[in-house]
Chain A
Amino acid sequence: MFPDSKIPEGPLAEKWDKHKFNVKLVNPANKRKYDVIVVGTGLAGASAAASLAELGYNVKAFTFHDSPRRAHSIAAQGGINAAKNYQNDGDSVFRLFYDTIKGGDYRAREANVYRLAQVSVNIIDQCVAQGVPFAREYGGLLANRSFGGAQVSRTFYARGQTGQQLLLGAYSALSRQVAYGKVKLYTRSEMLDVVVVDGQARGIITRNLITGEIEQHAAHAVVLATGGYGNVFYLSTNAMYCNVTAAWRAHKRGAYFANPCFTQIHPTCIPVSGDYQSKLTLMSESLRNDGRVWVPKTVETAERIRKGQLKASDVPEEDRDYFLERKYPAFGNLVPRDVASRNAKQMCDEGRGVGSTGLAVYLDFADIIKRTGAEAVAQKYGNLFDMYAKITDENPYQEPMRIYPAVHYTMGGLWVDYNLQTTIPGLYATGECNFSDHGANRLGASALMQGLADGYFVIPYTIGDYLAQTPPKPVTTDHPAFKQTEAEVRARVQKLMSINGTRTPDDFHKHLGHLMWEYCGMARNAEGLRYAKAEIQKLRKEFWSDLKLTGTENELNQALEKAGRVADFIELGELMVDDALDRNESCGGHFREEFATEEGEAKRDDENYAYVAAWQYVGENQPEILNKEQLVFENVKLTQRSYK
């Protein structure tokens, strides 16, 4: 039987308020008797750790970075959505809810998404009070801009560095609690397993990355805020250290993994330039407010550009195809990410791609520069233009940017109920590492919103419900489960160190990434997926027999860290392929070539696939069990998504 998703009864708009009243409370004097572990210090983790500490719980916060401020939330560029309706343009909680459900191609839970839209307004208040310097108008009030998949202006921003400013806000709140002694901070500590005592999460095992020491930590509850798994593709816009290990270890201890194949390919990234490339850089979606996407109308013109015989700016207007504006007049360049990405790929597949590789389309600012001047454009997007120029050695004020889709975000993640609790009691997942709010496709500026919603305004309430039912007795690491789990972690580290083969962790990672991108990337089909599955299984065997490491496990050893993460990525990769194979429909970021409309748009199958696929680990080398959570839509009508 599927675990209860605990969605409260009653009308959509009243569910969260009612639930907040119905959950059990821990009285203020008792809160200090409870310890909570928070793993990860990005938006979801830092906000949760700070808020829980403010309430009085004793928090231990873990990050593998040298400082909480390095978490990858810092790199989010464009903005954060909130249903403030400051622009008087018809926004509302219901509209943000509706846009998010529709943008997610009807594969998210109504109740979760509605709550997200509700608390979005509190997030902005919270961040402003912390001193987050959002962009403002001359009258001193907050400015907004538009993002994909919405026809209102509801995105709050701090130039192209919104994630940085929000994270530094959460980091400051966290730092304050560290100073008060309510949060104990463990930096350069990587979580390598979760400890389950009598069916409940009671702690974690970590490795101190500087000394190599393996440590046990106990608590009454554990919150994972460990981010997404986009780096399974090797090349992505994620930071180099982003990985699935914490979530995957929890999965292998009993937490279901939901919709792993729902990955987001972001349309506007700087194209790959060579085999040495270590990561891809995003150009914020906000650029699509003013940038126009185009390719040459003919293959011949595109060829001349690729050979360097013709400059983009010299292509006359009539020879350009502004394909998004042409195909989607209502949303134009601001169609959702999955639609924009697929169309860019289609143009390149037709031979109309640009750049020396032919795997790029243009994002052109000539019009806005003509209309408002280069200075006004620099005001809005200066840091992005500079970044582009540094990486490509080209001036985007003069020539259009070249962009191509790249892996950016993972909608899938640990399955959680309405309380954000996984299928292991006492183990919670927040932010990108859970699956909860974005369905099959996330809208721009919604990741920051979800991370902070979970951390500031959801988990502080819902975790209390669990703790109130847990006796306030001190927890210790005395239980044999700690010793047992630690021994398993040690054995695994030693096994990695002792293989003594020939291939480096990066080599395996690149190999895996290539398989995932080719066969489980922007477009998928059953044949390719089956091929990929067999190849990944081979790769896994090779990994465990031919891995090369040097040094020891008792010191800073970055190759060893990487190896552990790659090992988990390989296992996850296989599950992603299984999930993509199971889902015989196209929806959002999951595009199966066999299931498309005549116009090439994603064709959903609501009758058979309106479910969350929650995978259950049952043992080494055994196929995982698929559990289905049926999605119920009572407030929106399921329609073919149209942005025309």
Chain B
Amino acid sequence: MAGSNPNAKPMNLTLKVWRQKNRNTQGSIVDYQVKDISPDMSFLEMLDVLNEDLLRKGEEPVAFDHDCREGICGSCNLFINGRAHGPESGTTTCQLHMRKFNDGDTITIEPWRAAAFPVNKDLSVDRSAFDRIIQAGGYVSINTGGTPDANEIPIPKQIADRAFEAATCIGCGACVASCKNASAMLFVSAKVSQLALLPQGHVERKTRVENMVAQMDKEGFGACTNIGSCAAECPVGISLENIAILNQEFLLAKATSNNLA
């Protein structure tokens, strides 16, 4: 069965894959050959082929994170040929297709590299630091029930759309992996902006930005030096404008803090 491109020929590829037994051991690059890869396969389906081969041969498959394979869950996170999620911009690893590569190519596959994202095994890393940043303030503090009718809070469409754009962050960590400082500013700013733009988030806007930035620093992410590689490599197009909004929110908060302690 051919896909959309019946003339495309299967490819043979050399893979250089980071293998690491666990968090406490050293890893290294190991070479593998994969054959008859269809250009219509996704990158992860190509890795499935490798893993089935390894398992049949009695070797350990390569561990990597993935789930929805639709580009929305944010699980997949491969550093391919030196770029987060590979060569195609605006694309998660699972939505990258092998038609972007050529027969005979050598492809290097590494995990995200950041002190705040320790390696679990092979290509799987621990991104729980992101959860802890959200726990520090990435919410509106309301309980279930007792909320006003949804249409009692009119929001200009343009503002709602901007908040939505910021809210589409999938939390994959490509921004951190792409940043020479391993900064998490784009991730943090996306949530800060979403809630700062919306009236629902206004009540806690000062404490939110202060607490989330403090947690970001505590987790060991680097500082932002306005290079912009995070936004350039973000698979869902989270804009640098959000970092500007965060900086503005942060300044405002520090100048007129609600944190009385």
**Cβ of B259 under 8 Å from chain A:** no
**Cβ of B255 under 8 Å from chain A:** no
**Cβ of A490 under 8 Å from chain B:** no
Give the docked Cα–Cα distance between A275 and B148 (Å).
51
- Of A103-111, A128-136, A575-583, the one with at least 4 CB within 8 A of chain B: A128-136
Q: How many Å from the CB of A270 to the closest CB on chain B? A: 10
Q: How many Å from the CB of B40 to the closest CB on chain A? A: 5
- Which residues on the A side are within 8 Å of B95 (C-beta)? 387, 390-391
Q: Are A555 and B167 in contact (CB under 8 A)?
A: no
Q: Are A142 and B150 in contact (CB under 8 A)?
A: yes
**Cβ of A140 under 8 Å from chain B:** yes
* Residues 99 to 137 of chain A near chain B (Cβ within 8 Å): 122, 124-131, 133-137
Q: Are A67 and B130 in contact (CB under 8 A)?
A: yes
Known: A175-B135, A356-B1. A136 touches B155 (CB 8 A): yes
- Which residues on the B side are within 8 Å of A391 (C-beta)? 42, 95, 97
- Of B49-57, B103-111, B244-252, the one with at least 4 CB within 8 A of chain A: B49-57
* Residues 87 to 121 of chain B near chain A (Cβ within 8 Å): 90-91, 95, 97, 99, 120-121
**Cβ of A320 under 8 Å from chain B:** no
Q: Are A387 and B3 in contact (CB under 8 A)?
A: no
For B198, give its contact among A131, A556, A558 (CB under 8 Å): A131
For A273, give its contact among B4, B156, B194 (CB under 8 Å): B4
Closest residue on chain A to residue B149 by CB atoms = A125
Interface size of A by CB at 8 A reads 89
Report the tally of A-B residue pairs with Cβ distances under 8 A: 239
- Which residues on the B side are within 8 Å of A130 (C-beta)? 139-140, 142, 200
Give the docked Cα–Cα distance between A506 and B50 (Å).
13
Q: Are A142 and B97 in contact (CB under 8 A)?
A: no
Q: Are A66 and B126 in contact (CB under 8 A)?
A: yes
- Of A147-155, A156-164, A195-203, A404-412, the one with at least 4 CB within 8 A of chain B: A156-164
Known: A74-B73, A390-B97. A136 touches B66 (CB 8 A): no
Closest residue on chain B to residue A76 by CB atoms = B72
- Which residues on the B side are within 8 Å of A75 (C-beta)? 68, 70, 72-73
Give the docked Cα–Cα distance between A224 and B162 (Å).
36
* Residues 1 to 56 of chain B near chain A (Cβ within 8 Å): 1-6, 21-22, 38, 40-42, 44-45, 48-49, 51-52, 54-56
Closest residue on chain A to residue B144 by CB atoms = A51
Q: Which of A74, A131, A279 has the most CB of B within 10 A?
A: A131
Q: Are B4 and A394 in contact (CB under 8 A)?
A: yes
For A276, give its contact among B38, B66, B72 (CB under 8 Å): B38
**Cβ of B127 under 8 Å from chain A:** yes
- Which residues on the A side are within 8 Å of B72 (C-beta)? 74-75, 161, 164
**Cβ of B128 under 8 Å from chain A:** yes
- Which residues on the A side are within 8 Å of B150 (C-beta)? 84, 124-125, 127-128, 134, 142
- Which residues on the B side are within 8 Å of A394 (C-beta)? 4
Q: How many Å from the CB of A566 to the closest CB on chain B? A: 13
**Cβ of B60 under 8 Å from chain A:** yes
Q: How many Å from the CB of B35 to the closest CB on chain A? A: 12
Give the docked Cα–Cα distance between A315 and B56 (Å).
48
- Which residues on the A side are within 8 Å of B99 (C-beta)? 393
For B157, give its contact among A138, A274, A279 (CB under 8 Å): A138
**Cβ of B74 under 8 Å from chain A:** yes
* Residues 49 to 99 of chain A near chain B (Cβ within 8 Å): 50-51, 54, 65-72, 74-75, 84, 86
**Cβ of A456 under 8 Å from chain B:** yes
Q: Are A141 and B154 in contact (CB under 8 A)?
A: yes
**Cβ of B75 under 8 Å from chain A:** yes
**Cβ of B136 under 8 Å from chain A:** yes
Q: Are B198 and A555 in contact (CB under 8 A)?
A: no
* Residues 135 to 174 of chain B near chain A (Cβ within 8 Å): 135-136, 138-145, 147-151, 153-157, 160-161, 163-164, 167-168, 170-171
Q: Which of A136, A274, A392 has the most CB of B within 10 A?
A: A136
Give the docked Cα–Cα distance between A506 and B56 (Å).
11
Give the docked Cα–Cα distance between A51 and B156 (Å).
30
Known: A130-B200, A172-B134, A556-B63. A50 touches B144 (CB 8 A): yes
Known: A131-B200, A274-B3, A556-B22. A240 touches B69 (CB 8 A): yes
* Residues 178 to 198 of chain A near chain B (Cβ within 8 Å): 178-179, 185, 187
Q: Are B91 and A390 in contact (CB under 8 A)?
A: yes
Q: Are B147 and A125 in contact (CB under 8 A)?
A: yes
Q: How many Å from the CB of B81 to the closest CB on chain A? A: 18
Closest residue on chain B to residue A392 by CB atoms = B4
**Cβ of A210 under 8 Å from chain B:** yes
Q: Are B5 and A393 in contact (CB under 8 A)?
A: yes
Known: A128-B150, A139-B154. A551 touches B60 (CB 8 A): yes
Q: Are A70 and B120 in contact (CB under 8 A)?
A: no
For B154, give its contact among A129, A140, A390 (CB under 8 Å): A140
**Cβ of A626 under 8 Å from chain B:** no
For B44, give its contact among A129, A136, A187, A278 (CB under 8 Å): A278
Q: Are A555 and B21 in contact (CB under 8 A)?
A: yes
Give the docked Cα–Cα distance between A275 and B45 (Å).
10
**Cβ of B188 under 8 Å from chain A:** no
Q: Are A550 and B48 in contact (CB under 8 A)?
A: no
- Which residues on the A side are within 8 Å of B124 (C-beta)? 556
Q: Are A172 and B65 in contact (CB under 8 A)?
A: no
Q: Are B168 and A550 in contact (CB under 8 A)?
A: no
For B138, give its contact among A65, A71, A175, A282 (CB under 8 Å): A175
- Which residues on the B side are within 8 Å of A531 (C-beta)? none
Closest residue on chain B to residue A156 by CB atoms = B150
For A72, give its contact among B40, B48, B68, B139 (CB under 8 Å): B68
Q: How many Å from the CB of A207 to the closest CB on chain B? A: 15
Known: A131-B198, A555-B121, A556-B124. A125 touches B75 (CB 8 A): no
Q: Are A273 and B130 in contact (CB under 8 A)?
A: no
Closest residue on chain A to residue B88 by CB atoms = A390
Give the docked Cα–Cα distance between A141 and B160 (Å).
10
For B164, give its contact among A133, A187, A241 (CB under 8 Å): A133
Q: Are B21 and A278 in contact (CB under 8 A)?
A: no
Closest residue on chain B to residue A237 by CB atoms = B70
Known: A125-B149, A240-B69, A393-B97. A175 touches B131 (CB 8 A): yes
Give the docked Cα–Cα distance between A532 and B54 (Å).
31
Closest residue on chain A to residue B148 by CB atoms = A125
Q: Which of B95, B131, B161 has the most CB of A within 10 A?
A: B131
Q: Are B195 and A136 in contact (CB under 8 A)?
A: no
Q: Are A210 and B48 in contact (CB under 8 A)?
A: no
**Cβ of A277 under 8 Å from chain B:** yes
Q: Are A136 and B48 in contact (CB under 8 A)?
A: no
- Which residues on the A side are within 8 Å of B121 (C-beta)? 210, 555-556
- Which residues on the A side are within 8 Å of B126 (C-beta)? 66
Give the docked Cα–Cα distance between A75 and B154 (Å).
27
**Cβ of A168 under 8 Å from chain B:** yes
For A387, give its contact among B59, B60, B71, B156 (CB under 8 Å): B71
Give the docked Cα–Cα distance between A168 and B195 (Å).
12
- Which residues on the A side are within 8 Å of B42 (C-beta)? 278, 391
For A239, give its contact among B73, B131, B161 (CB under 8 Å): B73
Q: Which of B72, B126, B170 has the most CB of A within 10 A?
A: B72
- Which residues on the A side are within 8 Å of B22 (C-beta)? 555-556
Give the docked Cα–Cα distance between A191 and B180 (Å).
38
**Cβ of B222 under 8 Å from chain A:** no
Q: Are B68 and A135 in contact (CB under 8 A)?
A: no
**Cβ of A272 under 8 Å from chain B:** yes
Q: Are B171 and A172 in contact (CB under 8 A)?
A: no
14 extra A-B contacts, CB within 8 A, seeds A50-B144, A131-B139, A240-B68: A65-B67, A66-B128, A86-B151, A125-B150, A131-B163, A133-B161, A140-B154, A140-B155, A240-B67, A241-B67, A274-B3, A308-B6, A456-B144, A556-B120
Considering the complex of A and B, which 3 residue pairs feature the smallest CB-CB distances, nearest first?
A140-B154, A273-B3, A172-B139
List 26 A–B pairs whose Cβ atoms lie within 8 Å, in order of A's numbering.
A67-B130, A70-B74, A70-B75, A75-B70, A125-B149, A127-B150, A131-B200, A136-B156, A140-B154, A141-B151, A159-B164, A165-B167, A175-B134, A185-B131, A187-B131, A240-B68, A273-B1, A274-B40, A276-B38, A277-B45, A394-B4, A504-B55, A506-B48, A550-B54, A556-B120, A556-B121
